[in-house]
């Protein structure tokens, strides 16, 4: 694993040998060091003081265990940092190991090249694009100005920070934080769902944050029932969530009324036999296909519905 991991790190950082993995879990540190990968806990780096690491992969497993934003900013403000926010999906050590192993297997250069290809296809589209796949047919009307989230450049700048997901997906949000849908964009059709993920942002607080374990349970139940088939009309899910409809609505935010808050293409291109779709893991979100999301993760739980075999026609 180490050789493949270092190959990807060389594309992101100016010196892969100087990269340090920072996490809040000592067991993950111990596992990484068995592969001769430099690793430490956040607390160890902060307690040591002195010169901050210049190149970092930050892998929190539990948001409650990592330093405050102020302390992190003071320590890493001049560092190149790739965030792998596993804590938003799972705190399980085995899931974290799986994420590192699959990250090492992804062809990073190919993924970023695919990001550029998809962005070009979207920007040149004459107002509409379509998606196809097994039991999937979506039609998406595009606005005149399309705001996309993705990376088209491999290497991080000396003081740049980025999230892992930006390397392996091209996404946009058809709805804002209040649940208001962009009327200039329209998503309609059917999507075969091969797996479901639940996630939360670090800033999610209150009653909905306390529902995260329940949301993870709902996602696990739905994964066992997959494939599911959902219907979307005018950027809202109108059918197909079955007995989980109310739970998803309550946890993601009733104010959304099924509004799609994310649409994205996964460009990780992992071989199907290397993806464990039973896991609630961030790396699966962008491993392949297309996914739609409800909830924004900040004011409510975010649910991803992934169609592993779907594709953008013409890309």
Q: What is the pLDDT of residue 64?
A: 92
**Residue 68 pLDDT:** 87
Instruction: Give the containing element (helix H, strand E) for 235.
Output: none
Do 280 and 173 form a contact (C-beta atoms < 8 A)? no
Pairing of strands 80-83, 55-59: parallel
Contact assessment for residue 187 and residue 138, using Cβ atoms and an 8 Å cutoff: yes
In 7-79, DSSP assigns E strands to 20-23, 39-41, 55-59
SS3 124: helix
Q: Please give the pLDDT value at position 311.
A: 94
Return averaged pLDDT per consecutive 10 residues of the chain, 315 residues in all: 94 92 97 97 82 92 91 89 96 98 97 96 91 96 87 95 95 67 80 98 90 97 98 94 95 84 94 95 95 92 96 85
Say what the pLDDT of residue 273 is: 94
- Ranges of beta strands (E only) in the chain are 20-23, 39-41, 55-59, 80-83, 128-133, 136-141, 161-163, 169-172, 186-193, 195-199, 228-233, 236-239, 262-266, 290-294, 302-307, 311-312
Any long-range contacts for 126-130 (C-beta under 8 Å, 24+ apart)? 129/312, 129/313, 129/314, 130/312, 130/313
CA distance 211 to 87: 15
Tokens 């996490």 sit on residue: 23
Q: What is the pLDDT of residue 143?
A: 85
> What's the confidence (pLDDT) of residue 176?
59
Global confidence as pTM: 0.93
Give residues with Cβ within 8 angstroms of 24, minimum separation 6. 41, 42, 43, 60, 61, 62, 65, 66
Q: What is the pLDDT of residue 177?
A: 54
pLDDT for 200 equals 96
């Amino acid at each position: 694993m180490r050789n493949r991991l270092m190959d990807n790190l060389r594309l992101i950082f100016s010196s892969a040998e100087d990269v340090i993995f920072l996490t809040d879990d000592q067991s993950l540190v111990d596992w990484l060091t068995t592969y001769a990968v430099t690793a430490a806990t956040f607390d160890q780096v902060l307690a040591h003081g002195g010169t901050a690491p210049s190149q970092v992969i930050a892998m929190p497993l539990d948001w409650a265990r990592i330093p405050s934003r102020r302390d992190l900013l003071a320590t890493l403000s001049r560092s190149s940092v790739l965030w792998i926010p596993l804590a938003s999906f799972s705190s399980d050590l085995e899931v974290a190991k799986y994420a590192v192993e699959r990250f090492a297997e992804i062809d990073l250069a190919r993924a970023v090249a695919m990001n550029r290809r998809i962005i070009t296809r979207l920007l040149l589209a004459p107002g509409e694009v379509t998606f196809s796949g097994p039991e999937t047919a979506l039609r998406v009307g595009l606005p005149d100005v399309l705001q996309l989230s993705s990376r088209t450049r491999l290497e991080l700048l000396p003081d740049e920070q980025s999230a892992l997901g930006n390397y392996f997906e091209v996404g946009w949000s058809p709805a804002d934080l209040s649940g208001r849908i962009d009327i200039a964009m329209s998503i309609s059709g059917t999507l075969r769902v091969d797996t479901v993920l639940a996630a939360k942002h670090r800033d999610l607080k209150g009653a909905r944050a306390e529902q995260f374990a329940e949301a993870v349970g709902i996602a696990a139940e739905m994964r066992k029932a997959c494939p599911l088939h959902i219907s979307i009309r005018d950027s809202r899910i109108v059918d197909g969530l079955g007995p989980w409809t109310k739970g998803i609505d309550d946890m993601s935010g009733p104010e959304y009324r099924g509004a799609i808050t994310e649409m994205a293409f996964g460009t990780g291109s992992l071989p199907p036999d290397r993806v464990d779709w039973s896991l609630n893991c961030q790396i699966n979100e962008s491993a392949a296909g297309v996914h739609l999301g409800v909830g924004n993760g900040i004011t409510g739980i975010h649910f991803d519905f992934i169609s592993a075999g779907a594709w953008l026609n013409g890309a």
